[in-house]
């Protein structure tokens, strides 16, 4: 059972470039989310989804797009990368839509924007 899988693990971009961080889970979880982790700021929610076709914004959504066409996948798109988006990105999922379940995290994607 792979759990939550994120790719790529490392990425370097130039300002203005776009890219997609991939996230897949094989646990048939309804809820999926993206967080970013920055020194001194902790983990902050970017976007989340409670099922295929349903997404919503978190605390820091600007500059990011998401979609959820299948239960398994929840890609995060950076439209025009900025140095402020240099961070470690984590995808997380849980079985239920509501907040009572255990959240499982991927290993993270480390992004540097030059």
Partner 1 sequence: KQEVTQIPAALSVPEGENLVLNCSFTDSAIYNLQWFRQDPGKGLTSLLLIQSSQREQTSGRLNASLDKSSGRSTLYIAASQPGDSATYLCAVSDDYKLSFGAGTTVTVRA
Choose which of 34, 64, 74, 90 interacts with partner 1 (CB under 8 A): 90
Residue 95 to residues 28, 79, 104: CA-CA distances in angstroms?
A: 7, 29, 9
Question: Nearest approach, Cβ of 112 to partner 1 (angstroms)?
Answer: 14
Choose which of 15, 56, 80, 84 interacts with partner 1 (CB under 8 A): 56
* The token pair that represents 81 in the structure block: 């990368």
Task: Identify whether the C-beta of residue 94 lies closer than 8 Å to the C-beta of residue 35.
Answer: no
- Interaction site with partner 1 (CB under 8 A): 31, 40, 42-43, 45, 48, 50, 56, 58-59, 90, 92, 98-108
């Amino acid at each position: 059972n792979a759990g939550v899988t994120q790719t790529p693990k490392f990425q370097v971009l130039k300002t203005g470039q776009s890219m997609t961080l991939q996230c897949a889970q094989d646990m048939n979880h309804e809820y999926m989310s993206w967080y970013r982790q920055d020194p001194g700021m902790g983990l902050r929610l970017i976007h989340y989804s409670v099922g295929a076709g349903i997404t919503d914004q978190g605390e820091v959504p600007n500059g990011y797009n998401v979609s959820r066409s299948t239960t398994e996948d929840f890609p995060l798109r950076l439209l025009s990368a900025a140095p402020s988006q240099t961070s470690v990105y984590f995808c997380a999922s849980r079985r239920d839509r509501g907040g009572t379940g255990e959240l499982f995290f991927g290993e993270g994607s480390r992004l540097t924007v030059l």
